[in-house]
Amino acid sequence: MNVANYFDTMSYGPAPESDTEARQWLATHQDGFGHFINGEFTGVSDKNFDTFEPATGTVLARISMAQQADIDAAVKSARAAQTGWAEQSGHARAKVLYALARIIQRHARLIAVVEALDNGKPIRETRDIDIPLAARHFYHHAGWAQLQGSEFPDHSAIGVVGQIIPWNFPFLMMAWKIAPALALGNTVVLKPAEYTSLTALLFAELAATAGLPDGVLNIVTGDGKSGAMLVEHTEVDKIAFTGSTAVGKWIRQATAGSGKSLTLELGGKSPFIVFEDADLDAAVEGVVDAIWFNQGQVCCAGSRILVQEGVAEDFHARLRLRMSRLRLGQPLDKCIDMGSLVAPVQLQRVEAMVQQGVEAGATLYQPDIEIPSGGSFYPPTLLSDADPTSSVVCEEIFGPVVVSMTFRTFDEAIALANHTRYGLAASVWSESVNQSLEVAAALEAGIVWINTTNAMDASVGFGGRKESGFGREGGREGCLDYLKPDAWMKAPMRIDPEGVALATKGGSFAMDRTAKLFIGGRQARPDGNYSRAVASPTGERLGDVGEGNRKDIRNAVEAARGAASWSSKTAHNRAQILYYLAENLSIRDVEFAARIRAMTGATAKQAQAEVEASISRLFSYGAWADKFEGAVHLPPIKGVTLALPEAQGVVGVICPTEAPLLGFISLVAPLLAMGNRCVVVPSEASPLSATDFYQVLETSDVPAGVINIVTGNALELADTLSKHNDVDALWAFGGPTMTRLVEEQSAGNLKRVWSGFDRQIDWLDSRVGEGREFLNRATDIKNIWVPYGE
Amino acid sequence: MHKDQRTYSHVVTQATIVMNDNVRKPEVVASESATMPASATASATATAPATASSPSDSHAVTVKRNAGMPLDSGLVERVRINRSAADRRISALSGRRSVKKDAQAAWLLKAITCMDLTTLNGDDTEGRVRRLCAKAANPVRQDLLQAMGMEPRRITTAAVCVYHRFVPTAVSALQGSGIPVAAVSTGFPAGLIPHHLKLQEIEASVAAGAREIDIVITREHVLTGNWQALYAEMKDYREACGDAHVKAILATGDLKTLNNIARASLVCMMAGADFIKTSTGKESVNATLPITMIMLRMIRQYQMLTGFLVGHKPAGGVSKAKDALSYLALVKEELGDAWLTPELFRFGASSLLGDIERQLEHHVDGAYSAHHRHPIG
């Protein structure tokens, strides 16, 4: 090709980014890379593996495979460094993070080129998106380090954090994980993905000049087995994982009962909803950014197009035309839209899934464009009219493949969008503010983009709902996932409750009363039709309650699921009901105090105090209902990003054995205030305060199904609740045995489990027994990105 | 395609793209045929270069003139443009499409052949216009063209654009060059003289030898949503132009919103505009990439609707070679290669040429150039 040829054809010529410096850097490591532990690189291990350049299949470098001894050494060095690091002033830590940000910017091009070579993604994305955003994470979190003392009083670092990151955004995910952890005083052992370790190792090299104390950041390389060693290490206090839902579920099980905190950023099948009043060309371009960004290897990729029927044909025509102009090429070509998938095995997986989709009846469209040979290249792919039962619609493909379906009305769009196990992100395209915000509010996703997609920033929490995982990374909400509340940590560990006392003496009643269960707003006889006696500490029979079983839990969950309107009531309305509960409880304070005395042997004063604290607590959450506000984040866009705390949904509650009334109120009231519906198992030993509460509920305008109470064996009922796949969260205050059980079983749908750190707090102490810790646990932050401009 | 849009497909006159290169089909045909009504599909025929208005362009194309269509206000009002999405697309484009080395030189030469070399100043004189015409006929130093192997191509600008007063001067100065004269008209730049005088001005310019007329629309019609008035005005202009091609200047800086710009674009095309043009160069905001992108998308929509290929002209503010590359890449991405010809794409520019010349010299000898090394225009 010469000038005249180009003049005649007006084709794009090659525009390669130089790889000279990157190759030079690799050449200085031709013997291979060790791990970065305690401030220095180990020698190259005998156990090692090759890392490849996905676009050509050639070997880039040799990398050490971490064994147990390496993991032990890394964790040990992180442990040794943690206290000192946390004790440094926020300003001192801020300066280190600031230096890391500057270092990234100084070496931005080298990092970008190495990343493109190692991952196969276009240099445009590493240079313009990944690396600048990585630097931004360090800048943003340098700020949180600086402000930690004033903004997070009474909170401390969690400790040693094990972080395991995926291969789709190797450098960006590393920054995303490291920055908040280090900022808030944690130390880190990070394992990059097996395919893409190079930029993390480069970062470790560069970071040597940042003033990071030895051991604060450790980087170990290896495969899934190395990662598993980190997950299972007893000296690790928290695991932060980004990767597949399957591995995330394994981690949930593997860490059950270990006391480890957990953040899981998992898969998705995020809807991309196009309404008929959308700017269709903009939406088409949105699809490009949604699914052909990073070859579709993006957990929050908009991989499921839902388009309104009236414009579906037009939209698809525009989309196919747009696809015909996409360009695939070598990652360092500056004139491409897509590079290579990360590895041949991914290519095979994508090919197989598309094949399945076509066999299931989807219409395949792939543009007739040039596909580079060699490497793991796959064309942009549209599967339209896909069958809702087919695997391409239900499962994450993690490649440049988008499926599309149509809908009729906005409520059908919401139903289709939410009809998935995942809940990471969603994109809504509409020029109507009413429609787009209503849909955004109704979507079950951690991130909603209105008229945009795949927008990310360090100031905005990233994380999902449902089986897309839990925890947030970024922004104020993300900081909380790297902190623990001091007041809780000072409390003694909770121990498993002793067996429930048997009634050895008959009680005397003016009138026989056998409490039933409370399900769907009615007192319901237990399914098994058994009851259990409730005894005083001295063995006196105080009455009988129903023996709930798994079917009662099933019924209660169904009732709670059906009471969805509670979540959309106004905060003011929920506050009114909480105040009303307090009012009606106070009318009967003497009776409730007497019941507490009888069940627990408390003094009159103690019992009175518990009732008064319960009334006050209901008031507190009545107060909080319209004051636990979200935020408007400030990412670098023209627009607003709304961080809204949203109810978890249906929450199971296993009340502590102690404080039969206050324990019950302390857990249920914050959940109600935030719009959750509850299935509550009261104190197994002392359930009568909760059953007495039925009448308070019935006289306080609590809608049916919002609170459901099932008495019985706490561990058995917790077992059923933790396995129930329509329960969104479970608060289990039943001791370490129960915690281990429910954490392990929660992996089925990744429901959020909170066991109060297995601590035995003083419920009467309002500094620890109520407030933001509970409210944070009762909600998930949804971030709604609303760019604007006319 | 939208249901309401189908109504028009049967009345559409077939658009014909004639290209001298029968190997490479026009992209519009190759990629859109599946989505367009058969009667609206452009067809490519290999013939000799037609008598295009830019004889310098070896890649000459003859485009069937836009015959217009009845005003469809419903369609116009349904247009929705999202500003932030448009801005994002543009900000990512330069990272997705980089043109380097020989390709860059070729693209810059293409930009020259798509240029309406313009002078529209209150202090213009015949002498000034003659100088500009000389530059239009020889925009690039012969030694540079030779070095790039482009000497046989006779690179000239697409047209020279002046006020009516200087049309005779330009016509005479360009005699024999084949370069057409374009005249701004209809009370340029504000467009607020009486309607009958606007038509007279057009007719006078055409009579004086202008082959292209750049009209300005009455912005009030857009700002008040009076699409019927805009349509009627534009139709009158087109009629007054006769065989001269008409470029509709939307004065996008005055229209403010992308929605207004998109709607005005559609109405002007429905009324028969051959080109839609961004600006007079006199508004506070002139050509921008997002505005061009939206106008290109409307051109595509109109093509899907009628089969006609309408041209686009960004004007004012495109002064750097790098900007020209971005515009060309945007046209290629949004509309396809068929539009990369002076028949369908123009830059309205005065200082752009100087920057391109410097870049071309840099391409040839590797040293950064200076303005005074290239003949003045």
Within a domain: A77: yes
pLDDT by residue (tens digit) across B225-262?
999 999 999 999 999 999 999 999 999 999 999 999 99
Spell out which residues of chain B touch residue A320, defining contact as CB-CB under 8 Å: 34-35
A131-189 pLDDT tens trace = 999 999 999 999 999 999 999 999 999 999 999 999 999 999 999 999 999 999 999 99
> In angstroms, what separates the C-alpha of B107 from chain A's closest C-alpha?
6
Question: Minimal CA–CA distance to A658: which of A756, A579, A533?
Answer: A756
Q: How far, in Å, CA of B49 to CA of B55, rounded? A: 9
**C-alpha–C-alpha distance, residues A175 and A173, integer Å:** 5
For residues A214 and A291, membership in a common domain is answered with no
Beta bridge partners of A163: A190, A240
**What is the tens place of the pLDDT at every residue in A330-348?**
999 999 999 999 999 999 9
Average pLDDT, chain A: 97
**How far apart are alpha carbons A571 and A475 in whole angstroms?**
24
pLDDT at position A437 over 60: yes
For residue B60, what is the nearest residue in chain A, using CA coordinates? A8
Decide: A555 and A717 in contact? Cβ < 8 Å.
no
CB nearest A337 (choices: B96, B102, B257): B96
Residues A354 and A246 reside in one and the same domain: no
Query: pLDDT tens for residues A358-392?
Result: 999 999 999 999 999 999 999 999 999 988 999 99
Same domain for A201 and A179?
Answer: yes
Mean of the pLDDT values across residues A25-42? 97
Question: Does residue A425 lie in a domain region?
Answer: yes
What's the rounded mean pLDDT across residues A713-740?
A: 98
Residue A419 has pLDDT above 50, yes or no: yes
DSSP B249: E
**Domain membership flag for residue A431:** yes
The separation between CA B267 and the C-alpha centre of its own chain, rounded to angstroms, equals 17
The domain of A622 spans: 521-785
Q: What is the pLDDT of residue B18?
A: 37
pLDDT for residue B50 is more than 90: no
CB A479 within 8 A of CB A516: no
pLDDT of A678 above 50:
yes
Looking at the predicted structure, is the pLDDT value of residue B30 above 60? no
Residue A376, phi then psi, degrees to nearest 5: -105, 65
Tell me what the mean pLDDT of segment A661-684 comes to.
98
Q: Is residue A509 part of a domain?
A: no
Q: Are A226 and A303 in a shared domain?
A: no
pLDDT tens track for B305-340 = 999 999 999 999 999 999 999 999 999 999 999 999
Domain boundary residue among A425, A444, A467? A467
**pLDDT over 50 at B7, yes or no:** no
Q: In whole angstroms, give the CA distance from residue B333 to residue A322.
A: 8
Q: What is the pLDDT of residue A500?
A: 81
Average pLDDT over residues A732-759: 98
The pLDDT of residue B14 is above 50: no
For chain B, what's the residue count? 377
| 3-class secondary-structure state, position B134 | helix
For residue B31, name the pLDDT band (cuts at 50, 70, 90): very low
In the A/B pair of chains, how many CB contacts fall below 8 A? 140
Residues of A in contact with B87 (CB under 8 A): 638, 789
Instruction: List the beta bridge partners of residue A263.
Output: A240
Q: What CATH number does residue A372 fall under?
A: 3.40.309.10
Q: Looking at the predicted structure, is the pLDDT value of residue A628 above 50?
A: yes
Q: Which domain holds residue B242?
A: 69-373
**Domain edge (last residue) among A215, A249, A266:** A266
A299 as an active site residue: the answer is: yes
How much is the pLDDT for B153?
Answer: 87
Best CA proximity match to A118, nearest among A46, A38, A174: A174
Q: Tokens 């896909």, residue?
A: A386
Q: Give the count of domains, chain A.
A: 3
Q: Looking at the domain assignment, is residue B93 inside a domain?
A: yes
Are the C-beta atoms of B275 and B180 separated by less than 8 Å? no
Q: Is residue B256 part of a domain?
A: yes
Over residues A694-708, the pLDDT tens digits come to: 999 999 999 999 999
Closest by CA to A155, choosing from A86, A213, A96, is A86
Both tokens of residue B372?
């005074």
CA distance A216 to A81: 6
Q: Same domain for A206 and A282?
A: no
Which runs of consecutive H residues, i.e. helices, occur in A152-234?
Answer: 170-183, 198-207, 224-232
Mean pLDDT of the region B152-166: 96
User: Which chain B residues are closer than 8 Å to A451 by Cβ?
Assistant: 82, 84-85
Question: How far does A790 lie from chain B, in Å, by closest CA?
Answer: 5
> Does residue B115 lie within any of the structural domains?
yes
**B37: in domain:** no
Please identify which residue in the block is written with the tokens 């024999």. B176
Residue A484 within a domain = no
A159: left (phi over 0), alpha (psi -120 to 50) or beta: left
- Put simply, the answer to whether A4 touches B96 (Cβ < 8 Å) is no
Each residue's pLDDT tens digit, B51-66: 333 333 334 457 899 9
Q: What is the pLDDT of residue B57?
A: 39
Position A510 in a domain: no
A721 located within any domain = yes
Question: For residues A674 and A777, what is the distance between their CA atoms, to the nearest angstrom?
Answer: 10
B317 Rama class: left (phi>0) / alpha (psi -120 to 50) / beta: left
Tokens (6 digits) for A151: 């903004």
Task: Please check the confidence at residue B45 and state whether its pLDDT lies above 70.
Answer: no
Q: Which residue of A lies nearest to B255 if distances are taken between CA atoms? A: A790
Q: Does the beta carbon of B45 lie under 8 angstroms from any beta carbon of chain A?
A: no
Please list every residue in chain B whose beta carbon sits closer than 8 Å to the beta carbon of residue A311.
Answer: 2
B105 contacts chain A (CB < 8 A): yes
Q: How confident is the model at residue A510 (pLDDT cuts 50, 70, 90)?
A: low
Q: How confident is the model at residue B35 (pLDDT cuts 50, 70, 90)?
A: very low
Q: Are residues A601 and A461 in the same domain?
A: no
Question: What HEC string does A540-591 produce?
Answer: EEEEEEECCCHHHHHHHHHHHHHCCHHHHCCHHHHHHHHHHHHHHHHHCHHH
Answer whether residue B23 is part of any domain.
Answer: no
This prediction has a pTM of 0.94
Domain of A212, CATH number, reads: 3.40.605.10
Buried b (16+ CB within 10 A) or exposed e, A473-511: bbbbbbbbbbbbbebbeebeebeebeebbebeeeeeeee
A361 phi-psi bin (left φ>0, alpha ψ -120 to 50, beta other): left
Contacts of A528 (CB under 8 A, 6+ apart): A547, A549, A551, A552
Instruction: Look at the block and give the residue holding tokens 């990512």.
Output: B92
Contact between residue B56 and residue B155 where contact means Cβ atoms under 8 Å apart: yes
Tally of structural domains, chain B: 1
Give me the amino acid identity at A260.
K
Residue B35 sits at the chain A interface (C-beta within 8 Å)? yes
Instruction: Give the pLDDT score at B46.
Output: 34
- Together in a domain, A252 and A108: yes
Interface test with B, best of A129, A279, A319, A786 (most B CBs within 10 A): A279
Q: Find the CB nearest A451 among B82, B148, B149.
A: B82
* Res B97 pLDDT > 50: yes
A274 and A262 in a single domain? The answer is no
Q: B170-219, pLDDT tens digit by residue?
A: 999 999 999 999 999 999 999 999 999 999 999 999 999 999 999 999 99
Q: Are residues A170 and A319 in the same domain?
A: no
Average pLDDT of chain B, as a whole number: 87
Residues B77-87, mean pLDDT to the nearest whole number: 97
Residue A100 within any structural domain of the chain: yes
**Structural element, H or E, at residue A291:** helix A280-291
pLDDT higher than threshold 70 for residue A606: yes
Same domain, A254 and A275: no
The pair phi, psi for residue A458, each rounded to 5°, is -65, -25
Burial A134-153 (b: 16+ CB within 10 A, else e): bbbbbbbbbbbbbbbeeebe
Average pLDDT of the segment spanning A245-259: 98
Enumerate the residues of chain B whose CB falls inside 8 A of the CB of residue A452: 84-85, 88
Last-in-domain residue among A219, A247, A266: A266
Residue the block writes with tokens 């065989």:
B243
Residues in chain A: 790
Tokens 């401030």, located at residue: A39
Query: Rounded to an integer, what distance in angstroms lies between the CA atom of residue B124 and that of residue B137?
Result: 19
A121 and A197 both lie in a single domain: yes
Nearest residue on chain B to A11, alpha-carbon basis: B103
Q: Is pLDDT at B34 greater than 80 in this prediction? A: no
Query: How do residues A175-190 score in pLDDT, each as one tens digit?
Result: 999 999 999 999 999 9
Q: What is the CATH number of the domain that holds B271?
A: 3.20.20.70
Contact A452 B258 (CB under 8 A): no
Q: What is the pLDDT of residue A208?
A: 83
CB atoms within 10 A of CB A30: 8
Rounded CA separation A648/B59 (Å): 63
CA distances, A42 to each of A34, A72, A196, B357 (Å) = 5, 14, 19, 56
Q: Does B22 touch chain A (CB under 8 A)?
A: no
**Angle at CA of residue A60, ends A56 and A65, nearest 5°:** 125
How many Å apart are CA A169 and CA A167, to the nearest integer?
6
Residue A539, class by beta-carbon neighbours within 10 Å (0-12 exposed, 13-18 middle, 19+ buried)? exposed
The residue of B75, B77, B80 whose CB has the most chain A CBs within 10 angstroms, and thus the best one to mutate to test that interface, is: B80
Q: Is residue B21 part of a domain?
A: no
Shared domain for A275 and A232, answered yes or no, is no
pLDDT at B27 over 80: no
Which residues from B are below 8 Å from A637, CB to CB? 84
Model confidence band, residue A64 (pLDDT cutoffs 50, 70, 90): very high
Tell whether B77 is covered by a domain.
Answer: yes
SS3 of A308-347: the string is EHHHHHHHHHHHHHHHCCCCECCCCECCCCECCCCCHHHH
Instruction: Write out pLDDT tens, residues B356-370.
Output: 999 999 999 999 999
Alpha helices in chain B (DSSP H): 3-6, 27-32, 73-78, 83-96, 101-113, 126-137, 142-147, 167-173, 195-207, 219-223, 227-241, 252-255, 258-270, 289-306, 321-334, 352-365
